Chain A
Amino acid sequence: GENVEQHPSTLSVQEGDSAVIKCTYSDSASNYFPWYKQELGKGPQLIIDIRSNVGEKKDQRIAVTLNKTAKHFSLHITETQPEDSAVYFCAGSTSGTYKYIFGTGTRLKVLA
């Protein structure tokens, strides 16, 4: 069945360093890939997304890259800050299905 794998499950970085989280997907028909940030006890919030017709998208310190051939996409956070500490989820979706398949999440800790 459809599957999205996410690595690593935990990631600790020093403040100011970069963080990279990687996801792979199994359904070649997937064409929309959002990333969500979830703070403790709250609902996830979309931080960036990318569609399959684009290879890279950037928004200030956050960027996402997509390799359709290899079926993987990555979240890059530069100049990390303590407030970036949270759980990050990737997801894949296919147009017309209205469903997301979520990865298992990455707990990011930014050490001051």
Chain B
Amino acid sequence: DGGITQSPKYLFRKEGQNVTLSCEQNLNHDAMYWYRQDPGQGLRLIYYSQIVNDFQKGDIAEGYSVSREKKESFPLTVTSAQKNPTAFYLCASAMTSGSYEQYFGPGTRLTVT
């Protein structure tokens, strides 16, 4: 059953703690993305990666970090430097040739108190 998985669906953390969100895909896609979604706003790009061991900052990278050690995995760490970390986080993947379609995971809702 191909697709993108994000875990967990809900995540709760205390302020000041780093937290890592998981994203795994078995679609053999080269590109992977992390977006943040806040109520009433569109999807804002945090980081993206077009190939293993390489990634680029998106529009709102401050306070976040990523790694891309494997093609299938693109974990996102929300650090204590992120001022407003409570949000819905979406991971996506896409091919880098042919179709441009991005496939999204089910999302992780992070609440920091």
Report A's interface with B, CB cutoff 8 A: 6, 9, 32, 34, 36, 41-46, 49, 89, 93, 95, 98-100, 102-105
Contacts and interface: CB of A to CB of B under 8 A. Distances in A.
Contact of A44 (B6, B31, B48, B90): B90
B43 A42 contact: no
- Contact residues of B: prevailing secondary structure: strand
A36 B104 CA distance: 10
A100 B104 CA distance: 13
B94 to A, nearest CB: 7
A98 B50 contact: yes
B90 A104 contact: no
Given A43-B90, A105-B42, A98 B96 contact: yes
Residue among A93, A95, A100 facing the most chain B CB atoms (10 A cut-off): A100
Contacts of A103: 42
Given A93-B100, A98-B94, A42 B106 contact: yes
Interface string B26-49: 000001000000001111110010
Contacts of B63: none
B20 interface: no
B48 A43 contact: no
A36 B100 CA distance: 13
A105 B41 CA distance: 7
Interface in B25-84: 31, 40-45, 48, 50, 58
Contacts of B41: 104-105
Contacts, number: 54
A102 B41 CA distance: 10
B31 A98 contact: yes
A43 B104 contact: yes
8 contacts: A6-B42, A9-B40, A42-B107, A46-B103, A95-B100, A98-B31, A98-B50, A98-B94
A100 to B, nearest CB: 6
Nearest to B103: A46
